[in-house]
């Protein structure tokens, strides 16, 4: 396994498992919960007392730090299983609190880095599903944390779409990023969420006919859509445009 040529600064953390126990299959994006430089983030992870690390970090200026080589597992997501499979990336926040905003430079470099990771590790498509089934994951799915913060969470479908353009594919159909208010959609095959619970079989199998098995998007919010006919929220990944 190689490391990214995008790295500007290296400070290897002792907090890792060497080597990881499986190949790289996922990417997990985090926020730093502060406007840390890549050097400051590296110093924090350099302490064995910290018991934390990530493979990479991105500052608000767009510079990239490496703290754990890709061949090794970082201690980042509160999930050994996820971290053994994932390259983990910490991203600085240029605003503290609120939506924990991330700078345009940091977001652009995050997309560059994700595409680079995919290309070097044979990941053909970055698939954001809104849950752990996809290969673009969030810290908050494995631990009681708000990481990666509202702003970066809202950008996951966009990140997948932009990365997949560079990989020669599109993230739109699976991530639902092209769906807008007023569109007609179908429940996607294999969709597993319905208002935070399992989709009832009558919806999943579409045995309840509404507008010829289609539903009207009443509202799009972050990574989910409100379907007018059944007035229920469904993840973007759980619907398909007609």
Distances, alpha carbon 18 to alpha carbons 27, 73, 74, 170, in Å? 18, 7, 9, 34
Could you tell me which residues come within 8 angstroms of residue 81 by beta carbon, excluding any fewer than 6 positions away? none
pLDDT greater than 50 at residue 188:
yes
Residues 6+ apart with CB under 8 A from 191: 199, 204, 234, 235, 237, 238, 239
For residue range 67-81, list pLDDT tens digits in order. Answer: 999 999 999 999 999
Written as six digits, the tokens of 187 are: 């429940």
pTM above 0.75, yes or no: no
Residue-wise pLDDT tens digits, 92-146: 999 999 999 999 999 999 999 999 999 999 998 998 988 898 999 999 999 999 9
The pLDDT of residue 208: 43
Q: How far is residue 64's CA from residue 95's CA, in Å, rounded to a whole number?
A: 19
Q: Tokens 């190949």 label which residue? A: 23
Rounded-to-integer distance, Cα 86 and Cα 100, Å: 23
User: Of 46, 53, 7, nearest to 32 (Cα)?
Assistant: 53
């Amino acid at each position: 396994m190689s490391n990214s040529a995008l790295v500007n600064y290296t400070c290897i953390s002792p907090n890792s498992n060497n080597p990881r126990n499986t190949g790289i299959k996922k990417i997990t994006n985090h926020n730093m919960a502060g406007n840390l430089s890549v050097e400051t983030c590296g110093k924090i992870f350099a302490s064995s007392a910290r018991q934390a690390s990530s493979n990479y970090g991105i500052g608000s200026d767009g510079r990239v730090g490496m703290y754990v080589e890709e061949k090794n597992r970082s201690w980042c997501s509160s999930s050994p299983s996820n971290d053994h499979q994932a390259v983990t990336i910490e991203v600085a926040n240029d605003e503290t609190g609120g939506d924990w905003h991330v700078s345009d430079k940091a977001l652009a470099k995050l997309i560059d880095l994700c595409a680079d990771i995919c290309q070097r590790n044979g990941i053909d498509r970055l698939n954001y599903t809104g849950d752990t089934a996809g290969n673009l994951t969030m810290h908050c799915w494995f631990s009681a944390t708000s990481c990666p913060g509202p702003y970066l969470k809202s950008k996951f479908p966009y990140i997948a779409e932009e990365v997949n353009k560079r990989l020669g594919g599109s993230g739109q159909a699976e991530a639902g990023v092209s769906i807008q208010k007023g569109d007609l959609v179908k429940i996607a095959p294999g969709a597993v969420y319905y208002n935070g619970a399992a989709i009832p079989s009558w919806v999943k199998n579409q045995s309840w006919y509404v507008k010829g098995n289609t539903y009207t998007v009443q509202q799009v919010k972050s990574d989910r859509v409100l379907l007018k006919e059944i007035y229920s929220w469904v993840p973007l990944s759980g619907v398909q445009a007609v």
